[in-house]
Structures are given as C-alpha cells and as structure tokens.
C-alpha cells in the first residue's frame, strides 16, 4: 500500500520531535446516551459480557460501552503520533489542534520501539527514550479524555531488523509466523515480546492510580502480504491461532485487564464471509476494524462508496454481535508533489463514514512528518476542508466526546 512508504520513512527516523502538548483539559460537551432497545441489548450492567475480557477494569468496560454508544451519533477523529509527528516538523500542539483548536479524540501509538531488540531499558538508550515518550503521550491523552490505540510493527523473529516481508528471504517468510505459534521455534521469543507489552500496559496509570485502557490491534493488514504475518505466509487457521494466543497470553497468563482487542485487515474484502476468513472469533475481538487507504486514493465518489460498502459490512456485524466498528487507519498523503483532493475530508470521507445508516466509532489518520501530511494543520491549502469535516454533526474531536472512561449514571 502507498502509505507504507511513509511508514518506513517514519519508523527509520533517528530522532522524533519531542511532544509539547497543552496541559489544560478541553471543555467537554456531554452527549445524551440513548437507552438500550430490543435491537441493541447493551446496558451498563451487562457490557462486560460482550467483551473479550470479562474481568476488564471498570475504565475499560466504560470505554467499550461509550465507544459503542458514541457510534450512534458521532465518529471520533484520531491520528497516529499526533503529539509527536508534525507537518514540516513544526512542534507544539498537535496539527489537528493547530487547525481546529481541539486535540484529536483518538491517539495512535506503536509498540515497535518499545519491543525493539536494541531497547535496553537504560535512560541513555534511544529506543528506551521513545518508550518513555510514548508512555508520556498516552498519559497526557488519557488525562484529556482522549482514546488510546496501539498498533505493533513487530520486527520479524530472525534478525529483528524489519517488519516488511520484502526484507526477508523466502525461507524466512515461509516460516516466521508459524515459528511464533505454540510449539514453534520462536514461541519463547514471542512470549518475551508480549511480556514487554504486558509490562508497559500494566504500568500505564492515571492520576488516581487507575490503569489506562488501550485498544490493541495486533497483526494488522494481514490480508495483504507486505508484513511477515500476511496472508501469503500463514494459513487462516495459523493466523487465528496466533491472534488467539496473543490475547490469551496477555489476558490469562499475564493478567492484563485494560485492553480492548481490535481486528483490522486492509480493504481487500467485499463480503462478510471474506472479511471473516481469518477472524479469530467473537471471544477474541472487541473492535471490528479496517485499514483503508486505497479506496480514498484519487477514486472520488466511486471510491468513497466502495469504502462505505465495506464499512457497512463492519457496522452490520458490530450491530449484530455487539461489537465496535472502526476505520482503524486511513488517509490521503499530501506532499509538495501530491496536491490535496478537493473536499476529501468534508465530502468523500464523511460520506463513507455516514451513508447507509452505518455506525463507526472512530477513524484514525496516519502520522504527519516533515515532508507530507495526512491531516492538515492550519496553514495548508485544505485546512478549511478538514475543519469543516471536524465541525460536521457526526464528527467528534476531544471536545465533543462524552466522558469515555466513566459509565453513564
């Protein structure tokens, strides 16, 4: 996918810009919560029964409930690395806040540097410094009422140099994912990586000592084959087994209870059956997601409609199974050589997220950097398009979120 060029640029940076996020909490506008109906059985008392983790912390239970309810009226707007990645490296507030006056409703982070083989947990170590920066960002986001989500560009288990299949030998590609499964040669290696993930998540705490809930989407975009966990390198059953092992290990072995689990292929599917072909099961998934850049890449209203049809599959399944539906990654990258698309946010994306009575809880754009952006700050040509999108009735930045970590009274 085209966005992966950006990812490799970003992930190979030698230095990240330090965050400088505002410490004041934006004012919140309460959203009226609809009561449960026959079609929607979710209540504040039964919510945990629909979640992967029946022992989830009360803040995590509240996040599930509020995300599910939010989708009836709003879609939360988020960005990867919003407090660290700025267009033209202009620091300060997030680019979204520079444009709109408010921070995003969702912050995306990644475990890549946290679990890197070169992270030695020492203060002078660059990878450990990135770990500390991510932790600080998550705590700052939580204090503002922002939703936190993690992806994981886990480097392959042989040399641990890359997460791209293109950087591996044919033998490595054919064996890497299978090797991390129970009984595999690298299962213990994978457990150690999960131990690190569990340690970080278990120490994410708010000002009152409560655990901060996160959304975790392991092995994303698996229907493509650009990552070593992709469809060409493991069978559907092997993929399911790997996902299930990950959840079971974190939840049961490590006792981590502040995670919502997201399942997110890329946009290759066109039917529910195709979407579910590698689905690990309702007991393992809280969030039904999709990454989709391709349908929004200069395809106009046709692409928007294609994306809407795929999101409707997610929305319908989430309604039927009491799950959360989300557009877990998307965007159109603007650079000096790639101009913005007219009304991309306010018409093409917004229509994809709202047509046909679909309910999408959140959308997340990829990160900005020195050379290009997915979300315009206040100075570029399509700044007004994004601001208009953010002000639409079904859009939500942090200022129009309910209290996501409290169940309504």
Picking from 157, 318, 184, 159, the residue whose alpha carbon sits closest to that of residue 245 is: 184
Cα angle, residue 138 at apex, residues 133 and 142 outer, rounded to 5°: 150
User: How does 143-168 read in b/e, with b if 16+ C-beta sit within 10 Å?
Assistant: ebbbbbbbbbbbbbbbeeebbbbeeb
| The two structure tokens encoding residue 43 | 């209540």
Are 70 and 394 spatial neighbours (Cβ–Cβ below 8 Å)?
no
Query: What's the farthest any 2 CA atoms get from each other in the chain?
Result: 57
**Selected catalytic residue, list 160, 210, 221, 237:** 221
Report yes or no: 119 and 125 within 8 Å, Cβ to Cβ: yes
Residue 188 annotated as catalytic:
no
105 to each of 77, 167, 213, 266, how far by Cα in Å? 5, 35, 14, 23
Per annotation, catalytic residue among 39, 59, 329, 406: 329
Query: Is there a catalytic annotation at residue 329?
Result: yes
Backbone angles phi, psi at 50, to 5 degrees: -100, 0
Q: CB–CB of 183/177 below 8 Å?
A: no
- With a CB cutoff of 8 Å and minimum separation 6, the contacts of 320 are none
Q: Which two tokens stand for residue 138?
A: 């998550």
Query: Catalytic positions, please?
Result: 221, 329
């Amino acid at each position: 996918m085209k966005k992966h060029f950006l990812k490799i640029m970003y992930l190979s940076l030698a230095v990240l810009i330090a965050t400088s996020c505002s410490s004041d909490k934006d004012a919140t506008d309460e959203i009226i919560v609809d009561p449960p109906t026959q079609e929607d059985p979710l209540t504040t008392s039964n919510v945990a029964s629909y979640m992967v983790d029946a022992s989830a912390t009360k803040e995590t239970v509240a996040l599930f409930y509020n995300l599910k309810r939010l989708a009836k009226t709003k879609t939360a707007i988020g960005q990867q690395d919003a407090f660290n990645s700025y267009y033209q490296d202009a620091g300060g507030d997030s680019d979204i806040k520079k444009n709109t006056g408010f921070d995003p409703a969702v912050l995306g982070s990644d475990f890549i540097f946290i679990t890197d083989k070169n992270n030695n947990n020492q203060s002078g170590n660059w990878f450990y410094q990135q770990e500390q920066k991510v932790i600080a960002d998550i705590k700052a986001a939580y204090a503002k009422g922002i939703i936190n989500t993690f992806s994981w560009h886990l480097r392959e288990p042989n040399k641990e140099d890359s997460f791209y299949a293109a950087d591996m030998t044919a033998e490595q590609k054919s064996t890497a994912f299978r090797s991390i499964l129970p009984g595999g040669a690298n299962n213990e290696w994978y457990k150690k990586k999960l131990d690190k993930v569990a340690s970080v998540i278990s120490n994410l705490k708010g000002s009152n000592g409560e655990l901060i809930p996160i959304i975790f989407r392991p092995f994303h975009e698996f229907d493509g084959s650009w990552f070593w966990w992709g469809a060409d390198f493991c069978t559907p059953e092997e993929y399911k087994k790997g996902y299930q092992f990950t959840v079971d290990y974190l939840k049961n072995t490590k006792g981590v209870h502040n995670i919502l689990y997201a399942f997110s292929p890329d946009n290759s599917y066109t039917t529910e059956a195709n979407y579910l072909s590698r689905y690990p099961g309702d007991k393992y998934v809280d969030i039904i997601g999709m990454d989709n850049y391709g349908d929004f890449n200069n395809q106009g209203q046709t692409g928007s409609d294609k994306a809407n049809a795929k999101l409707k599959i997610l929305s319908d399944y989430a309604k039927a199974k009491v799950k959360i539906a989300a557009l877990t990654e998307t965007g159109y990258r603007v650079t000096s050589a790639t101009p913005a698309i007219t009304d991309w946010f306010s018409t093409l994306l917004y229509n994809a997220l709202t047509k046909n009575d679909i309910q999408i809880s959140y959308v997340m754009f990829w990160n900005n950097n020195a050379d290009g952006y997915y979300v315009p700050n206040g100075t570029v040509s399509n700044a007004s398009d994004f601001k208009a999108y953010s002000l639409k009735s079904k859009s939500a930045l942090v200022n129009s979120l309910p209290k996501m970590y409290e169940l309504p009274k």
